[in-house]
Structure 1
């Protein structure tokens, strides 16, 4: 299977579907990761929070662990607009890779960059057989009744922690609390299906050919 995981920023796919990607890696599947923005940003008082070169290096290191091919579109973060131009750019990426399955943000995400990427990716993925929407970190959203697809990541949970920890530029800023937050989410999801840890997805479509 050929899978494509799309995130607005470096670390999004690892937080949202890192365990699932580890399962794909262990199954010998071909993995691609596309990050839409360069992921560097400054605070409102103009202090540098995350250098884009650091975010890029961390993204490549994580992709190496996942044995994934990595691509960054270098868009400016925090100002993404879900327009036709961005749809066409992701359409070009998808047409080149021709994935069997895509994982991406939900268009209902409270973070504007996440929502923009989710919206345009769903449109660009119209020819892909399977499209699943992952839950991004930290943000409260409607992700209960619509989460109908579960992946048991119990055997990969420690590796998922290691994947997330690769992104030191973000994790240090929050005292690594995102790791604990996400793992608790995965534990709660696992309890619903009788396993230790799981990731949940909204399913846009899944075609069995």
Structure 2
């Protein structure tokens, strides 16, 4: 821990990896926290596991690859993070040596100290397998936190444990602006989608006496005692 000439603790720049299976996952789950890291001059990388091309079970196209890449790039630009795509097939992210080693390479190349990822018990198979891969790849990373799932992917038989809170009052508008770039998702879920995301942030903020907050379940968290 370093201090300045006045005895104040200096912020140590961190290397942060935020992992989402799909283009909008980071904005929903932890964009306010990511924006805080960036304001603290941390190096933040957003990793999207899949190619954005998405179809319904009947073959209708919800989001083209080009549309999804543009939405994702715009969201990352608003937050100020560096964007990385791995381009696994949507709905079929594997838990395998291929995914583990791809993430492991990023962890090593960028000396990642903090990872944010999906909740392990998420009911979306891409989300769950992404986190399985993250936990394997990040076995030496000292800080791993899982962000809160959003309906309908979070309707598991096990409850999310709200263990770690981040006050995002000052970055909430950035979070919502970045999320608004994902017009394909807004078209899918309707305008109530934004209201639901805001309501949860308000509720988590209420629990820690702030206006807005994001919440995480801890895998590992390194203390500085």
Residue segments in structure 1 that go unaligned for 5+ positions in a row: none
Residue 207 of structure 2: aligned partner = 192
The structure that has the greater radius of gyration is 2
Residue 25 of structure 1: aligned partner = 38
Q: Distance in 1 between matches of 2:93 and 2:16?
A: 24
- 1:128 equivalent among 141, 144, 161: 141
| Segment of structure 1 superposing worse, 171-180 or 33-42 | 171-180
Aligned length: 208
- 1:182 equivalent among 192, 197, 205: 197
Q: Distance in 1 between matches of 2:204 and 2:122?
A: 18
State the Cα deviation string for residues 169-201 of structure 1 (Å, max 9, x = none): 211222232221111111111111111111000
TM-score for both structures, normalised by structure 2:
0.88
- The answer to whether 1:168 aligns with 2:201 is no
Alpha-carbon RMSD? 1.4
Distance 1:143 1:188, change over 3 A: farther
Residue 43 of structure 1: aligned partner = 56
- 1:119 equivalent among 121, 132, 155: 132
What SS does the aligned partner of 1:28 have?
coil
What SS does the aligned partner of 2:198 have?
helix
Q: Distance in 2 between matches of 1:143 and 1:38?
A: 29
Residue 102 of structure 1: aligned partner = 115
- 2:216 equivalent among 197, 201, 205: 201
Residue segments in structure 2 that go unaligned for 5+ positions in a row: 1-13
Kindly indicate which of the two structures has a greater share of residues assigned to helix: 1
Residue 12 of structure 1: aligned partner = 25
